[in-house]
Structure formats: C-alpha cells, structure tokens
C-alpha cells in the first residue's frame, strides 16, 4: 500500500474510533409525527427544519445527559388516520422517550386515545382549546391555545384600538370555527356582540360576498381566523380592491412568510396575534437568526414551536434526570419559567404551557413586535 493510503486509512480509523467513543452512549430516541407528505407538506417541511436545528444544536453540545438525540420521523400524510398510525407505530416501537407533533388540532384529537394508551409524553402544537381538556395526562401543548389568542385579540381591539363594531371572518374548519367561538365569547364577556360573523370553506377562490358583507355591516374592526395562506392572499387583496381599510387583527396565519408573500401590500398595516415573533425576546431573535443562516428562509410558527419542544425536552429530561415516561411527565409539569422561543413556559396541570400572545404589526412587509398580553388562568 502507498504511504498516503496507509495514512488515510489510519486517519479514517482514528476518526471512526474517536467519534464512536464520543457517542458510545446510546442515543435518546425522540419521535416526530410530521406532515411530510399530503396537502400540508409545506408546513411539515418547516417543522422538520426547526426540529433538526434544535437536534443538531443539542447534539453538538454533547446531547442530553451526554447522549445524542436520535430523531425518528413518521409521516402522517397530513391525515387523521395517518396520525393515529404514526403515533401507534412510534409508541409501539419501544425505546422512544417522547414524541413531538403534529400541529393540526384535528389530527391530535384523532390520535388522543392512541397517545393516552401509548403512555409517552406528546408535545403538540395544536391550538384547539379542547385538546387539553380531555383528561389526557400525556399531552403537552407547546403553543398558547385559541382561548388565549381570542382574548388577546379582544383585549387589543377593545382596549388598545378602542373599536367596538367587530366583524369576524373565519374558515369553517376546526381551527377557524374554534377561534371564532372563542373570540365571540371573549367579546360577549366584555358586553360586545359582533356585527358580522362569516365563515367560508378552505380554498375558496373568491371572497367578494364576504367583503361586501363586511362593508354592509358597518364594522370598524376586522378579526380573522384563517387557515390557508392562499385564502389570506385572495381575501386581503379583494378587501383592498373593494375599498375596505378598517383595522384588521388576525390569527397568526396572516403573518406567515407565505401569506405575506402572496398578499403583498394588501396586508401592510394589519395587526396579528402571534405566538412566535422574532422581535419579542432575545431567545426568539437568536432562533430567527440561526434559522435564517442555516436555511436561507425566514422562520415561522411551524418551526418555532417544534424547536422549543426539542429544547424543552432536553431541559425536562435533564432536570428530572430521567427518560422514563412518568418521571419525564412529572418533570415537564414542573417546568415554570423556562424561556423558549414562543415565550416563557409554565405548565398547568392540563398540559398548557403558554397563556399569552404577542401582538405584532405588519409595517410595509416587516413584522414589528408591539406588545405581549398574558393571562393567568
């Protein structure tokens, strides 16, 4: 053999040995139920980005208690039955410490019995309030639920913008309908009845009837719970084309990267509640910068909560010094004051970790952070 070949062989062997020795500890397996394929694959890609960023960061610093994280991604095909199958596969595999995902409330609902049977902590990103009200001890919600988003919207609109004639536009899926109900309730609690409540089915191609209805109702403030970026884009444009300029406070979907690209100037000047805003805290800023540097894309809510989930799991495992499900669960419930990208987490007994939202504004295409509104209950 040539000297150079012998040298490189020796080098390779030593590298292998060293790296093998560095990771001689067996990995901690964490599952991810993700929408890799199917209609929601767009969001799924971002979630994986956030998760991988966290995993690589953690592993670069030696992993959790010296053990690297091994990610087990299961594709749920963006469907409910797929989520059930993905969860049952992961919980049945053995050796998995915790599972992250998904973000869709209806998928989480479908998998709830499976999660309960599986007996592993599930870190979910869905905001339907009922998810943590089904006495499922294993569900931990990493984002503030919609009862809070609606209260923040109501609070901001009534107290900061001081407007009382509300029009609520919402998609008729679980997210939109739940949000609408919660917002109506929050407003009613302040003695206000919305002047218009209008639903639409996802992927509507034309919002003219709704815009005309808004005009007719005389509303002076518009609140929305919309799911798809395309719907946001078309609606926003038609709103402006037909001359509606009232203040608009929307759910987080109007400040996603895609929605803003599609709607362009039509969304300038709008407000939104968002659980993830880069400008809201040093942690958020740092995550946004790292994400951008690595992926050349702007970070968003699909990636932020999953990033938090990973880091939170590390924190909880290390603080409880255990990966056993019951101990990890206790450790998670005990977390209070941990600063994530989404906010400061403090878990209540139902598994809700966050109870407030940021209010942000779209100023000529840039999202500026205005304030954070929190609730105690």
Partner 1 sequence: MRTPDAIAVAPARAASRLPWIVLIIAVGILLPLLPYMFKTSDYVLNIFMNSVTYAMAVLGMVVVLGYTGQINLAQAAFFGFGAYSVALGTVSYGLPFWVALALGVGISGIAGVVLGLTTLRLGGHYLAMITISFQQIFDLVAVNWIELTHGPDGIAGIPRPSLFGHELSDQRAFLLFSTLVLYALIWFAWWLPGTRLGRAMRSVRDNELAAGTVGVHTLRVKVTAFTMSAVLGGIGGGLYASGFSYISPDNFNFARSIEFLTATLLGGAQSAFGGTLGTVLIVLLPEWFKDLPESLRFLTKVYLAIYGLAVILIMVFMPEGLWGLLRNAWGRVRKTAPQAVGKIVPLNFDIKVAHRTALLKLENLQKHFGGLKAVDGVDLEVMPGTVHALIGPNGSGKTTTLNVVSGIYRPTAGKVLFDGKDISLMAPHDRAGQGMGRTFQNIRLFSTMTALENVMVGGQRDNNPLQEGHDNLRHRALSALEFVGIAHRANEVVRNLPYGHQRYVEIARALAGHPTLLLLDEPGAGLNQTEKQELVGLLKRLRGHGLTIFLIDHDMGLVEKVSDKITVLNFGKKIAEGSPQDVLRHPDVIAAYLGEGPSGAAARA
Partner 2 sequence: MEALANNFQVLFQGLALGSIYALVALGFVLIIRTTNVVNFAQGDFAMLGGYLMVLFLVGMPGNPDLGLPALGLALPYWLAIVLTVVAMGVIGIAFNYGVYYPLRNRPFLPVLISTLGASIFLQNTVLAVFNPQPRPLDKLVGVDGITVGGVFLDSQYLVILAFTILAVAFQYFLFEHTLLGKKLQAVSQDKDMARLLGIPVSLMIIITFVYSAVLGGLAGVLVSPILFVSIGLGSAIALKAFAATIIGGFGDIAGAIVGGLIIGVVESFAAYYISVPYKDAYAFVFLFLVLLFRPQGIFGEKVSEKA
Which residues contribute to the site for partner 1 (CB under 8 A)? 36-37, 74-75, 77, 79-81, 84-85, 88-89, 91-93, 106, 109-110, 112-114, 117-118, 128, 130, 134, 172-174, 177-178, 199, 201
Q: How far is the CB of 84 from partner 1 (least distance, A)?
A: 6
For residues 157 and 55, give the distance between their C-alpha atoms in angstroms, rounded to a whole number.
Answer: 39
210 interface partner picked from partner 1, partner 2, none, CB below 5 to 8 A per type: partner 2
CB-wise, 58 or 85, nearer to partner 1? Answer: 85
Q: How far is the CB of 213 from partner 2 (least distance, A)?
A: 8
206 interface partner picked from partner 1, partner 2, none, CB below 5 to 8 A per type: partner 2
CB-wise, 138 or 347, nearer to partner 1? Answer: 138
CB-wise, 108 or 274, nearer to partner 1? Answer: 108
130 interface partner picked from partner 1, partner 2, none, CB below 5 to 8 A per type: partner 1
Q: How far is the CB of 211 from partner 1 (least distance, A)?
A: 20
Look up residue 134 and give its DSSP letter: S
Are 38 and 79 a contacting pair, CB within 8 Å?
yes
Are 119 and 144 a contacting pair, CB within 8 Å?
no
Q: How many Cα neighbours within 13 Å face the side chain of 86?
A: 29
CB-wise, 36 or 270, nearer to partner 1? Answer: 36
88 interface partner picked from partner 1, partner 2, none, CB below 5 to 8 A per type: partner 1
102 interface partner picked from partner 2, partner 1, none, CB below 5 to 8 A per type: none
208 interface partner picked from partner 1, partner 2, none, CB below 5 to 8 A per type: partner 2
Phi, psi of 187 (to 5 degrees): -70, -45
For residues 135 and 54, give the distance between their C-alpha atoms in angstroms, rounded to a whole number.
Answer: 30
DSSP string, 254-296: GGSHHHHHHHGGGGTT-EEEES--GGG-HHHHHHHHHHHHHHS
For residues 345 and 307, give the distance between their C-alpha atoms in angstroms, rounded to a whole number.
Answer: 14
Phi, psi of 143 (to 5 degrees): -135, 155
Task: Give contact residues for partner 2 (rule: CB under 8 A).
Answer: 39-42, 44-45, 172, 198-201, 203-206, 208-210, 212, 216, 229-230, 233-234, 241-243, 258, 261-262, 264
Q: How far is the CB of 198 from partner 2 (least distance, A)?
A: 6
CB-wise, 63 or 233, nearer to partner 2? Answer: 233
Long-range contacts of 80-87 (CB under 8 A, 24+ apart): 80/106, 80/107, 80/109, 80/110, 80/111, 81/110, 82/38, 82/107, 83/33, 83/107, 83/108, 83/110, 83/111, 84/110, 84/111, 84/114, 86/33, 86/111, 87/33, 87/111, 87/114, 87/115, 87/118, 87/122
Are 328 and 121 a contacting pair, CB within 8 Å?
yes
- Cα 134 to the chain's mean position, in Å? 20
Q: How far is the CB of 290 from partner 2 (least distance, A)?
A: 20
Look up residue 185 and give its DSSP letter: H
Q: How far is the CB of 275 from partner 2 (least distance, A)?
A: 21
CB-wise, 125 or 233, nearer to partner 2? Answer: 233
Other CB atoms within a 10 A radius of the CB of residue 188 amount to: 12
89 interface partner picked from partner 1, partner 2, none, CB below 5 to 8 A per type: partner 1
CB-wise, 136 or 319, nearer to partner 1? Answer: 136
109 interface partner picked from partner 1, partner 2, none, CB below 5 to 8 A per type: partner 1
Give the contacts of 158 (CB within 8 A, at least 6 positions apart).
164, 187, 190, 192
For residues 78 and 33, give the distance between their C-alpha atoms in angstroms, rounded to a whole number.
Answer: 10
97 interface partner picked from partner 1, partner 2, none, CB below 5 to 8 A per type: none
Q: How far is the CB of 324 from partner 1 (least distance, A)?
A: 20
CB-wise, 154 or 239, nearer to partner 2? Answer: 239
């Amino acid at each position: 053999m040539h000297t150079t070949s012998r040298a490189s062989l020796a080098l390779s062997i030593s590298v292998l040995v060293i790296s093998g020795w560095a990771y001689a500890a067996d990995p901690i397996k964490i599952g991810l139920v993700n929408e890799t394929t199917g209609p929601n694959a767009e969001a799924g890609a971002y979630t994986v980005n956030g998760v991988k960023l966290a995993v690589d960061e953690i592993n670069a610093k030696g992993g959790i208690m010296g053990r690297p994280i091994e990610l087990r991604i299961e594709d749920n095909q963006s469907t409910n039955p797929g989520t059930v199958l993905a969860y049952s596969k992961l919980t049945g595999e053995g050796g998995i410490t915790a599972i992250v995902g998904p973000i869709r409330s209806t998928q989480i609902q479908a998998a709830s019995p499976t999660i309960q049977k599986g007996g592993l902590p599930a870190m979910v990103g869905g905001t339907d309030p009922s998810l943590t009200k089904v006495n499922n001890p294993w569900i931990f919600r990493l984002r503030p639920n919609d009862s809070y988003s609606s209260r923040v919207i109501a609070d901001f609109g009534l107290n900061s913008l001081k407007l009382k004639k509300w029009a609520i536009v919402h998609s008729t899926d679980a997210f939109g309908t739940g949000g609408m109900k919660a917002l109506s309730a929050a407003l009613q609690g302040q003695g206000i009845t919305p002047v218009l409540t209008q639903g639409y089915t996802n992927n509507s191609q034309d919002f003219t009837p709704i815009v005309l209805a808004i005009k007719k109702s005389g509303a002076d403030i518009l609140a929305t719970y919309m799911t798809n970026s395309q719907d946001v884009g078309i609606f926003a444009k038609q709103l402006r084309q037909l001359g509606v300029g009232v203040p608009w406070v929307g759910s987080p979907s109007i400040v996603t990267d895609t929605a803003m690209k599609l709607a362009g100037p039509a969304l300038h000047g709008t407000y939104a509640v968002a659980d993830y805003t880069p400008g809201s805290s040093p942690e958020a800023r740092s995550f946004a910068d790292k994400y951008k540097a690595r992926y050349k894309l702007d970070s968003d809510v699909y990636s932020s909560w999953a990033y938090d989930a990973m880091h939170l799991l590390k924190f909880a495992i290390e603080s409880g010094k255990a990966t056993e499900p019951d101990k990890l669960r206790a450790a998670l419930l005990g977390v209070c004051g941990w600063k994530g990208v989404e906010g400061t987490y403090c878990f209540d007994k139902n598994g809700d970790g966050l109870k407030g939202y940021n209010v942000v504004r779209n100023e000529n295409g840039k999202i500026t952070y205005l304030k954070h509104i929190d609730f105690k209950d």
